Amino acid sequence: MGTDLANWLFLVSPSLVLFAGAMFLILFEAIVRPQNQGSLRLLSMLLTGVAMLLTVVVWGQANQAQEIFYGMLRFDHYGLGFQGVGLLAGFFALLVSHEYLEALKIRVGEYYALVLFGLFGMNLMALANDLMMVFISIEVMSLSMYILCAIKRSDPRSVESGFKYFILGAFASGLLLYGIALLYGASGSTSLPALAHTLAAGEPGPLVMVGGALVLAGFGFKVGAVPFHMYVPDVYQGAPTAVTSLMSTGVKAASFAALGRIILGYMGAGAANWEGALWFMAAATMLIGNLGALVQNDLKRILAYSSIAHAGYMLMMLASVGNEGAAGREALGGLLFYALTYTIMSAGTFAILTLLVKNGSDDTDISRLSGLGHSNPWLAAGMSICLLSLAGIPPTMGFVGKFYLFAATVQSGYTGLAIVGALSAAVGVYYYLRPMVYMYMKEGHPHIHPNIWVSGSVIIACVLMFALGIAPNEVLDWAEAAVRTVIVG
Q: Give residue 360's region: left, alpha or beta (phi > 0; psi -120 to 50).
A: left
Work out how close the CB of 321 gets to another protein at its nearest, in angstroms, rounded to a whole number: 16
Q: Binding segment for another protein among 126-134, 196-204, 260-268, 437-445 (CB under 8 A)?
A: 437-445
Rounded Cα distance, 305 and 311, in Å: 10
Q: Which 8-state DSSP code applies to residue 34?
A: G
The strand pairing partners of 75, in sequence order, are 66
Chosen residue from 38, 193, 394, 456 binding another protein by CB under 8 A: 394
Interaction of residue 298 with another protein, rule CB under 8 A:
no
* Residue 228 vs 399, nearer CB to another protein: 399
Q: Would you call 362 helix, strand, or coil by DSSP? A: strand
Amino acid in the structure at residue 288: I
Is residue 78 within 8 A of residue 336, CB to CB? The reply is yes
3-state class (DSSP) for residue 188:
coil
Contact assessment for residue 138 and residue 258, using Cβ atoms and an 8 Å cutoff: yes
- Residue 233: is the preceding peptide bond cis (ω within 30°)? no
Please report whether residue 403 would count as binding another protein according to CB under 8 A: yes
Strand, helix or coil for residue 90: helix
Identify which of residues 171 and 466 has a Cβ nearer to another protein in the complex: 466
Binds another protein (CB under 8 A): choice among 425, 448, 462, 465 = 425
Separation CA 361–CA 123 (nearest Å)? 32
Looking at the DSSP bridge assignments, the partners of residue 361 are 358
Nearer to another protein, 305 or 438 (CB): 438
Distance CA 247, CA 224 (A): 10
Q: In the beta sheet, which residues pair with residue 339?
A: none
Closer to another protein by CB, 246 or 388: give it: 388
Nearby residues of 442 by Cβ (< 8 Å), 6 or more positions away: 367, 370, 371
Q: Is the CB of 225 or the CB of 418 nearer to another protein?
A: 418
Closest approach, Cβ 176 to another protein, in A, equals 34
482 scored as a contact of another protein (CB under 8 A): no
* 65 touches another protein by CB under 8 A: no
By CB under 8 A, name the one of 210, 291, 393, 487 that touches another protein: 393
Name which of 70 and 378 has its Cβ closer to another protein.
378
Closest Cα partner for 112 from 304, 254, 242, 247? 242
Residues in the chain: 489
Nearer to another protein, 210 or 419 (CB): 419
- Half-sphere exposure in the Cβ direction for 247 (13 Å, CA): 34
Contact pick of 410, 456, 484, 487 for another protein (by CB under 8 A): 410
Distance between CA atoms of 236 and 108, rounded to whole angstroms? 20
For another protein, the closer CB: 152 or 402: 402
Q: Which of residues 453-472 bind another protein (CB under 8 A)?
A: 472
Instruction: Report in angstroms how near the CB of residue 480 gets to another protein at its nearest.
Output: 6
| Residue from the set 411, 455, 457, 485 that interacts with another protein by CB under 8 A | 411
Among 281, 388, 486, 488, binds another protein (CB under 8 A): 388
User: From the list 132, 419, 459, 487, which residue makes contact with another protein (rule: CB under 8 A)?
Assistant: 419
- Asked if residue 183 lies in contact with residue 212, where contact means CB atoms within 8 angstroms, the answer is yes
Report the half-sphere exposure of 281 (CA within 13 A, side-chain side): 25
473 is a contact residue toward another protein (CB under 8 A): yes
Nearest to another protein of 243, 420 (CB atom): 420
3-state secondary structure 458-488: HHHHHHHHHHHHHCCHHHHHHHHHHHHCCCC
379 is a contact residue toward another protein (CB under 8 A)? no
CB of 370 to another protein, least distance (A): 12
Position 440 contacts another protein (CB under 8 A): yes
- 393 or 459: CB nearest another protein: 393
Q: Is 161 in the site for another protein (CB under 8 A)?
A: no
* Residue selected from 107, 230, 430, 467 as contacting another protein according to rule CB under 8 A: 430
The correct pick among 437, 445, 463, 467 for binding another protein (CB under 8 A) is 437
Q: Write the binding mask 197 to 236 for another protein: x where contact by CB under 8 A, - elsewhere.
A: ----------------------------------------
Of 384 and 457, which has the nearer Cβ to another protein?
Answer: 384
Contact 98, 455 (CB under 8 A): no
Least Cβ distance, residue 467 to another protein (angstroms): 13
Q: How far is the CB of 339 from another protein (least distance, A)?
A: 17
Alpha helices in 128-240 (DSSP H): 131-149, 156-187, 192-201, 206-223, 231-238
Q: Which helix (H) or strand (E) holds 304?
A: helix 299-321
Q: How many CB atoms lie under 10 A from the CB of residue 69?
A: 18
CB-count exposure of residue 449 (10 Å: 0-12, 13-18, 19+): exposed
Interface with another protein includes 294 (CB under 8 A)? no
* Chain residues that interact with another protein, rule: CB under 8 A: 388, 393-395, 399-400, 403-404, 406-407, 410-411, 415, 418-419, 422-423, 425-426, 429-430, 433, 436-437, 440-442, 472-473, 476-477, 480
